[in-house]
């Protein structure tokens, strides 16, 4: 978890309900490598959800996501050994086979800023290897 996510969990009414003073103490005394934590999360997003590089970066830094700093998230994607072509193909297969989308619609979903955020090259690779 990120520092902000841990703090939120500790102080949340739906979480641990610690006081801010107690949470501040806990955060201050944790010996954590947040860049390593971000990399572990990034690996999970790539391996389990087949996300794009930009999608992972956005999820890691999102206030409604993992809440890592921009520096921690950038470290994670820079050090992640992911095959984004393979991830794009896995997503494309889901859209094409399970949701019966056309290839044009699949490409749009893969590259859209509101969709998967793969590069044009990664999306084209996926379409070329679909079926």
The rounded distance, in Å, linking the Cα atoms of 76 and 107 is 26
pLDDT of residue 34: 97
Instruction: Determine contact, residues 112/119, Cβ cutoff 8 Å.
Output: no
Q: Taking the CA atoms of the chain, what radius of gyration do you get in angstroms?
A: 18
pLDDT of residue 108: 98
Determine whether 98 is exposed, middle or buried from the number of CB atoms within 10 Å of its CB (0-12, 13-18, 19+): exposed
pTM of the model: 0.91
Instruction: Determine contact, residues 110/116, Cβ cutoff 8 Å.
Output: yes
15 confidence band (pLDDT: 50, 70, 90):
confident
CA quadruple 30, 35, 39, 44: dihedral sign: positive
* pLDDT above 90: residue 118: yes
* pLDDT above 90: residue 131: no
Instruction: State percent of the chain over pLDDT 70.
Output: 100
pLDDT digits (tens, 9 = 90+) for 22-59: 999 999 999 999 999 999 999 999 999 999 999 999 99
The rounded distance, in Å, linking the Cα atoms of 86 and 76 is 19
Q: What is the mean pLDDT of residues 65-72?
A: 96
3 confidence band (pLDDT: 50, 70, 90):
very high
């Amino acid at each position: 978890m990120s520092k902000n996510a841990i703090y939120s969990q500790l102080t949340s009414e739906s979480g641990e309900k610690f006081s801010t003073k107690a949470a501040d103490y806990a955060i201050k005394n944790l010996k954590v490598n947040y860049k390593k934590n971000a990399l572990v999360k990034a690996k999970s997003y790539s391996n389990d959800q087949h996300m794009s590089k930009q999608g992972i970066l956005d999820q890691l830094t999102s206030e409604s996501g993992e809440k890592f700093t921009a520096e921690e998230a950038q470290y994670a994607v820079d050090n992640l050994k992911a095959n984004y072509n393979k991830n794009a193909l896995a997503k494309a297969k889901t859209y094409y086979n399970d949701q019966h989308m056309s290839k044009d619609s699949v490409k749009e979903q893969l590259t859209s800023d509101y969709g998967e955020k793969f590069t044009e090259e990664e999306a084209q690779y996926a379409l070329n290897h679909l079926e």
